[in-house]
């Protein structure tokens, strides 16, 4: 990182969009910075759709591979979140479409909690989480995507709408319906 700072490239002080611009201009180190910032978020999003570790890892690699290859398509007038999550969303959709048959056969990875939690607490938390995640999985694809992008990934309504190629009112409606469904399971 010290070398990068020496070149006038200090990622800690830069926004995602600024780093993406540096990468587009040919600064190879900027790609690593973006990767480190987003790899776990992309992986968790891919996992929520695939429920399989290997698949989520494959999708994550594909997302960054495309980011590497399509860097010239980045337009700084559009928010980086919109650009990046649209890329991620498209990769996930493509993967799901191409592997629809095998995805349903995937075994979910078992959950593990810290050792300080009692078995009863673990069982209760496990059950609660499974219910929430199950309800999320049961949502229609668009509701699920809108909910994940807005509530979990923290994108604004406008960014979510742009990623999903729809309008803000539709996104609000999708998120509202998804939230009601998920909250209902918690009331049970």
Partner 1 sequence: MNNHIDNLLFDYNKKESALNDKEISLHIQDCGRCRKLLEDYFNTIDVMRNSPEIPQLSDSECSRMFENIISRAEVRRRKATILPRVIAVAASVIIILTAVFLYKNHNNTLNTGREIESHIIGIFSPDKTDDLEIISDLELFSNLDIIENLETLEELNEVIDDEI
- The interface mask with partner 1, positions 87-106, x = CB under 8 A, is --------------------
Residue 138: which residues within 8 A CB-CB, separation 6 or more?
Answer: 181
Span of 13-21, 76-84, 89-97, 169-177 interacting with partner 1 by CB under 8 A: 169-177
Q: What angle do CA 142, 36, 68 make, to 5 degrees?
A: 70
For the bound state, the minimum distance from the C-beta of residue 93 to partner 1, rounded and expressed in Å, comes to 19
Helix axes 16-24, 28-50, angle to 10 degrees: 120
For the bound state, the minimum distance from the C-beta of residue 77 to partner 1, rounded and expressed in Å, comes to 25
Q: How many CB atoms lie within 10 A of CB 171?
A: 26
Alpha helices in the chain (DSSP H): 2-6, 16-24, 28-50, 53-69, 80-98, 100-103, 119-138, 141-147, 157-163, 168-187
Determine, following the binding rule CB under 8 A, whether residue 113 of this chain makes contact with partner 1. Answer: yes
- Out of 1, 73, 123, 129, the residue judged to bind partner 1 by CB under 8 A: 129
Nearer to partner 1, 63 or 164 (CB): 63
> Which tokens belong to 10?
């200090």
Residues 29-88 close enough to bind partner 1 by CB under 8 A: 32, 35-36, 39-40, 43-44, 47-48, 53, 56-57, 60-61, 64-65, 68-69
Nearer to partner 1, 10 or 184 (CB): 184
Stated as kind and residue range, the H or E segment containing 70 is none
- The interface mask with partner 1, positions 145-164, x = CB under 8 A, is -----xxx-x----------
For the bound state, the minimum distance from the C-beta of residue 140 to partner 1, rounded and expressed in Å, comes to 17
- Write down the residue that tokens 């069982």 correspond to: 123
101-112 as b/e: b if 16+ CB within 10 A? eebeeeeeeeee
> Which tokens belong to 74?
């980045």
Interacting residues toward partner 1 by CB under 8 A: 32, 35-36, 39-40, 43-44, 47-48, 53, 56-57, 60-61, 64-65, 68-69, 108-109, 111-113, 128-130, 132-133, 136, 150-152, 154, 172, 175-176, 179-180, 182-183, 186-187
């Amino acid at each position: 990182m010290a070398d990068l700072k020496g070149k006038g490239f200090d990622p800690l002080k830069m926004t995602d969009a600024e780093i993406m611009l540096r990468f587009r201009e040919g600064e190879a180190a900027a790609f690593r910075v973006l990767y480190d910032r987003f790899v776990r978020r992309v992986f968790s999003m891919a996992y929520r759709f695939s429920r399989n570790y290997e698949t989520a890892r494959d999708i994550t690699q594909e997302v960054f591979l495309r980011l590497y290859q399509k860097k010239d398509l980045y337009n700084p007038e559009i928010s980086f979140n919109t650009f990046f999550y649209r890329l991620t969303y498209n990769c996930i959709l493509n993967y799901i479409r191409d592997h629809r048959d095998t995805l349903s056969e995937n075994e979910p990875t078992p959950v593990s909690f810290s050792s300080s939690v009692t078995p009863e607490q673990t069982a209760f938390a496990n059950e609660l989480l499974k219910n929430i995640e199950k309800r999320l999985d049961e949502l229609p694809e668009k509701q699920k995507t809108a909910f994940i992008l807005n509530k979990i990934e923290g994108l604004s309504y406008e960014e979510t709408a742009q990623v999903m190629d729809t309008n803000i009112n539709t996104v609000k409606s999708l998120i509202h319906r998804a939230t009601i469904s998920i909250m209902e399971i918690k009331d049970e």
